[in-house]
Structure 1
């Protein structure tokens, strides 16, 4: 028999790839952490611009986070800045809807939000990952208070209409049982010599011990009902005190049942980099970030300005605009330079005087669809009846997600949850085609399959379909690798005196971090050009 050290072994990369194929990303990351290969990205810090030339001026188009970031930093460098904003508020997609707000979508349907005082829904961004350093840095600098956002709640539900008789399953049950069954399979393969040609003896021993702990396997490497497994998935009868009934371990779900349900994929959502703890949200609504920027920049902002034309010459940029609500006579604003953060879905409809490469790039990027529905209920039944405090329930129904508020725990009176978040799929387009009231009713009907209390406890609701939002006509720039290869650099390049910024000009589309980083990069390059001019 050939000695183990003489056997030609694949690299550990091959082993990790095999684990990933068999057990999924979560197991592979566990193995990577054990072997010391998991790493985090570096933080590059805030932008630092030198003093601008005296009298230099900049027009910023759009008072979303990208536009206000650009304006904030350029003003600090000494530029005279003016912002043109389509809406009567700042923030763009950084937006919250509260009681008393009115919102009119394309087509004319108007909703008046009737949530109780203090309740709100975030139609756009609703969470900030811990590694979105730029957003967190501006929250610190602008004094925006943050609180934890609960992404993964082990007591929330996973739901598939075709599995377990349509009955929702607790996240902790599916997640724990999946890990246990997969760990048992890998342990069997290791013990039976199935990995003999893949790893050293020491690696096998370490892997077996890791699988035993990770999958809560017994001494024979089996995943079976026990106190240890119940310590992860929960007990059928919880431990008590005095002469209360003895604790009773819960019975794991079968591996075949989990795999056929498709819930194993739902479990892994919380392992995505953007959703790993810690995650944050501003106290009082996501729009607190936009409002903080607005407090700093309000004197610079011209609200209700609908841009109709962008021209440039060798010495300046001239923007033509009209009143967004009333129309009327055209007005113009000019500056030495222009930072344009208007979404490409809108910019592609405007006469923009840039070269063909940038024009082609502006026209090339489609926008994804998204629908959110906020539902207010008479009481927080998800807490009182089901012990769900924050987190997200996932379902194969068109509503896709139910997100429970991560704030106001145990409070009395009405509570608001996110009753639908359909993102960039056929369901989002179908919901978009409905009226606002029909979307709310659909969210109620579907959510009742998970929470029977819905119909009895419902109070009011509001819906936002992003393809019908007037200032963007979509949710986010939907790049593909092929589109980026052809157009991305042309989109981000400075064209004469104009540079574009926004989440569409980033590799983090649909996130506030992408918008802010794009703006910081754009103004640094524009500033360098202005200084050299």
Structure 2
């Protein structure tokens, strides 16, 4: 019987291996540079014995600053926090229905969602091994619910493949597993692995591949009732005299290889995206709200820092009202200063730190990122397509669509993350007006969900390079820049020390900010006691 599986060409196979190896290399690089690291947090901090009358000024009421403030006050320090915005929490931020903000350039971004609907402008999911943020959420009473990252009913989409029709993620995963199993079984049967496995191991490997890849008796991945139990059916099993079940048809190997969808599968296997993931009930901003509530009496809001000056005995900070309440400068002085202001802002400010510190501050660029939230009249992804949570990936500029993990089966409106990307595609969205971003997300998204035009209700967006208080999304480190500048950036420069996600090995995650705040508080406490 003729083999129904077309063997991949050498070019296709090398391409497949390259994409797979590329994904692995990317993950290894991310781990090396701190993007995919497990948290080092083991237990809470218990500082005590602050020098009598010792004071600390903290610049920025994000999670790094508020973590340090919370712990240092417990140790006995007099702590004051200055925050540019009219709220605490920093990038732990949800844009809720009825809210608005002004971005760089003067455009007002509105959120006309129904009450209870929101867009997480910054962080949107929490790995279960980010122990510090989980610990504080439990301590501060932030309710959690599961976040679904991997959903086999979501899609992988390529504009120029499969006639633009999105493919179910689970179908692609099953077919990849099946074809890899078949290819490996062929290699075993022709003796290509004789140097690696003995006869007994070969038999066990073949048997394992047959089950794992759902292969037939001849070790072929072909459409069968068995494959249907994994990748699904074109006609599902019924009852009575309903039609017989028909297994769905696997995607041909060459089509799968040429589409490049293999590369997208790594989004579901890197450690930070593995189940179980979580999100706060009501939006990620609930974490920032909880930290703010615990530290509220220490925080001065609407305080725009204009100058940071240190001498051998302390630090003086000048600030003005960022809410338009006058330009009269105010000053505050403390023995020590923890500065969590993003480096994109800090490098433009008047601050007298050492030359090596200024070089380190200038050596860390910030990535850009955009998000577009789309509210629809009904949850058509659930009602029409059986998608409950999860993420769809596409090669269109919107990059991905994420389906809400909350309020499933609810009647009425729901919000999709209708676009989320970095790099080149983000620059394009940065250049659009708020309304144009929504229009673009709708225009692209309808190629995956044709219901978009009919069901759309409202939209909002966040483009991080146009957010005045960050001018970027998160600090970017390379292996060489981390080796050259990281220790200096995190060191105590006379009376000033920096903290934030940019001063961590887990940049772009709230865990990195909190761990930086904890470490900075601990080191500064030791220094203060030693002076």
State the TM-score, normalizing by the size of structure 2: 0.92
Cα distance between partner residues in 2 of 1:207 and 1:521: 48
Partners of 1:504 and 1:43 lie apart in 2 by 17
Change in Cα spacing, 1:23 to 1:303, as seen in structure 2 (3 Å) is closer
Structure 2 equivalent of residue 377 of structure 1: 376
Which structure would you say has the larger RCO, counting Cα contacts within 8 Å and 6 or more residues apart?
A: 2
* Structure 2 partner of 1:138: 136
| Match for residue 109 of structure 2 among 111, 115, 118 | 111
Q: CA deviation at 1:212?
A: 2.3
Structure 1 stretch 396-405 or stretch 244-253: which is displaced more? 244-253
Structure 2 contact 307–318 (Cα < 8 Å) conserved:
yes
CA distance in 1, matches of 2:153, 2:355: 54
CA RMSD in angstroms, aligned pairs only: 2.0
Shift of 1:258: 0.7
In the alignment, what sits opposite 1:33? none
Cα separation, 2, equivalents of 1:426 and 1:100: 31
- How big is the shift at 1:201? 3.7
Equivalent runs, 1:403-418 vs 2, <5 Å: 403-418=402-417
Q: Which moves more between the two structures, 516-525 or 85-94?
A: 516-525
Structure 1 residues 318-345: Cα deviation after superposition (integer angstroms, max 9, x where no partner): 1111111325111111111111111001
Number of residue equivalences: 505
Superposed CA offset, 1:190-221 (max 9, x none): 12111112234444344333322221222322
Matched, 1:345 2:344: yes
Q: 1:172 — aligned with what?
A: 170
Secondary structure at the counterpart of residue 57 of structure 2: strand
1:233 to 224, 231, 234: 231
Secondary structure of the residue aligned to 2:345 is: helix
Alpha-carbon distance, 1:459 to partner: 0.7
- Structure 2 counterpart SS, 1:236: strand
1:312 matched residue in structure 2: 310
Equivalent residue, structure 2, for 1:422: 421
State the secondary structure of the residue aligned to 2:457: strand
Instruction: For residues 113-170 of structure 1, give each alpha carbon's deviation from its aligned partner in whole angstroms, at most 9, with x where no partner exists.
Output: 1101111110100000011111111111111000000101100111000110111111
| 2:335 aligned partner | 336
Q: What is the CA–CA distance in structure 1 between the aligned matches of 2:442 and 2:419, rounded to whole Å?
A: 9
Measure the CA separation in 1 of the matches of 2:303 and 2:463: 23
In 2, are the aligned partners of 1:26 and 1:271 still within 8 Å (CA)?
no
d(CA) in 2 for partners of 1:396 and 1:449?
12
2:217 to 209, 216, 219: 219
Shift of 1:480: 1.0
Q: Could you tell me which runs of 5 or more consecutive residues in structure 1 were left unpaired when the two chains were aligned.
A: 1-17, 29-38
Q: Which structure 2 residue ranges, 5 or more long, are not aligned?
A: 1-13, 25-36
Asked if structure 1 preserves the Cα contact closer than 8 Å seen for 2:98 and 2:115, the reply is no
Offset at residue 41 of structure 1 (A): 7.6
The aligned residue for residue 11 of structure 2 is: none
Structure 1 length-normalised TM: 0.92
Give the conservation status (yes or no) of the 8 Å contact 1:125–1:286: yes
Aligned residue in 1 for 2:359: 360
